[in-house]
Amino acid sequence: MKNTKKITLCALIAALSVVVMLGSYFPYLTYAIPAVAGLFMMVPLIECGVIWSVGTYITSAVIVAFAGEIEAATLYIMILGYYPILKALIERINKQVIEWPLKLLSFNVAIISFYYIYTVVFDQPFESFGNFGKYGLLAFLALCNVVFVIYDIGISRMASYYMLKLHDKIKKIIK
């Protein structure tokens, strides 16, 4: 594939991610929309490679930082936007005993950093997360890990679906 076609595909995916992220302004979609927008990073990853998908993520993240709803944009930038790329890199190890701890470690570092930044930079006190104090935060972190594992499995399923149903069609269009 020529670089012009790679640039076009990556630009379209970045634009699609940004448009999807604009849906985060609707109530109750703050967490779901960044997860969906992050899934689009699989397309340049599969079609063009890691470097192109990282460039696509950076492009979309910069635009989302200025145009997206602040919490959803921060979530996209810090966790969900790049995770499909990171997941693919981690899965190259091909040993689940090593892969899952790395995935969970990267997620937990990112989610704790996200909430730290969210509480400090955006001046949101920890009390705004619930009435259970530190145990509420631990329960929330445990629940986040469960949802993360489900999201990881979902990414794998979506990648399989993409390869079975869409990969050949996209290849025909961009060749």
Burial 95-119 (b: 16+ CB within 10 A, else e): eeeebeeebeebbeebbeebbeebe
**What is the distance between the alpha carbons of residues 42 and 151, in angstroms, rounded to a whole number?**
14
Burial class (CB in 10 A: 0-12, 13-18, 19+), 78: buried
pLDDT tens digits, residue range 11-56? 999 999 999 999 999 888 888 999 999 999 999 999 999 999 999 9
**What is the distance between the alpha carbons of residues 86 and 92, in angstroms, rounded to a whole number?**
10
Residues 156-175 have a mean pLDDT of: 89
Please state the pTM of the whole predicted model.
Answer: 0.88
For residue 121, give the amino acid letter. V
pLDDT tens digits, residue range 82-141? 999 999 999 999 999 999 999 999 999 999 898 888 778 777 666 655 566 667 778 888
| DSSP secondary structure code for residue 131 in this structure | S
CATH of 3-174, one of 1.20.120, 1.10.1760, 1.20.1280, 1.20.58: 1.10.1760
